[in-house]
């Protein structure tokens, strides 16, 4: 891995961890556990659009591993890993469509993240609470996915404009 890529990965991992921690401090619906804004997915979205697929997967694994080590536990890490693997796979596949914008990619990522978490929930708990819980998660995952996609589109537009100006 080149030094430039390594530095970028380190910076993005740190950003994802900080955003993930901020996320845990903002309970969207206090009575429903696990409903978050998913701010750290902005970093993953950046990786999906501007880095290689294997670097994106590595970033997701680093984010999941370190955040469960620092702020969570092994069970929480399992949920995050399943959600992360499914959402990154889906986002990378959607990114292959030419000229796709971050909004559908982020929306699909948010929904697939919940699908992964619900699958782990069905295995670890039982389908009973998951069936009650999942509709809230899907609703939240879709809304936050769209919002993050809009934020990412604005951010990427700014980055591309900056790069163009720097290159000119």
Partner 1 sequence: MERTTGTRRKLNWLLTAAAILFAALLVVLCLLLRPKTGAPDRFVIHFADGETLEIPAWETKTIVIRDGRIVDSATGEGDENVIRIENGRAWMEQANCPHHECMRQGALTAETVRSRPLGTWIVCAPHKVYIEFAGGGQ
Contact positions vs partner 1 (CB under 8 A): 24, 27, 29-34, 71-73, 75-76, 79, 94, 97-101, 103-104, 107-108, 111, 114-115, 121, 124-136, 138-139, 141-142, 145-146, 149
Query: Cβ distance 111 to 141 under 8 Å?
Result: yes
Tell me the closest approach of the beta carbon of residue 82 to partner 1, in angstroms.
Answer: 13
Of the pair 5, 126, the CB lying nearest partner 1 is at 126
Of the pair 58, 138, the CB lying nearest partner 1 is at 138
How many residues does this entry show for the chain? Answer: 168
Of the pair 73, 167, the CB lying nearest partner 1 is at 73
* Tokens representing residue 154 in the block: 């604005």
Of the pair 62, 143, the CB lying nearest partner 1 is at 143
Pick from 37, 76, 83: nearest CA to 60: 83
Q: What is residue 139's DSSP assignment?
A: H
Tell me the closest approach of the beta carbon of residue 100 to partner 1, in angstroms.
Answer: 7
DSSP strand E in the chain: where? Answer: none
Tell me the closest approach of the beta carbon of residue 61 to partner 1, in angstroms.
Answer: 20
Q: With 0-12 CB in 10 A as exposed, 13-18 as middle and 19+ as buried, what is 164?
A: exposed
Tell me the closest approach of the beta carbon of residue 11 to partner 1, in angstroms.
Answer: 26
Of the pair 12, 42, the CB lying nearest partner 1 is at 42
Measured between alpha carbons, how far is residue 13 from residues 67, 106, 152 in Å? 10, 18, 17
Tell me the closest approach of the beta carbon of residue 54 to partner 1, in angstroms.
Answer: 24
Pick from 5, 1, 108: nearest CA to 50: 5
């Amino acid at each position: 891995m080149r030094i430039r890529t390594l530095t970028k990965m380190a910076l993005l991992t740190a950003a994802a961890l900080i955003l993930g921690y901020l996320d845990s401090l903002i309970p969207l619906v206090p009575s429903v556990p696990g409903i978050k804004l998913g701010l750290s997915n902005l970093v993953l979205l950046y990786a999906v659009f501007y880095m290689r697929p294997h670097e994106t997967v590595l970033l997701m694994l680093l984010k999941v591993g370190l955040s469960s080590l620092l702020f969570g536990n092994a069970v929480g890490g399992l949920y995050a890993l399943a959600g992360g693997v499914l959402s990154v796979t889906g986002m990378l596949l959607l990114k292959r469509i030419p000229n796709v914008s971050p909004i559908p990619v982020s929306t699909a990522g948010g929904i697939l993240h919940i699908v992964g978490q619900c699958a782990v929930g069905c295995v670890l708990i039982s389908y009973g609470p998951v069936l009650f819980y999942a509709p809230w998660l899907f609703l939240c995952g879709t809304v936050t996915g769209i919002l993050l996609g809009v934020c990412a589109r604005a951010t990427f537009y700014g980055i591309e404009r900056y790069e163009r100006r720097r290159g000119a």
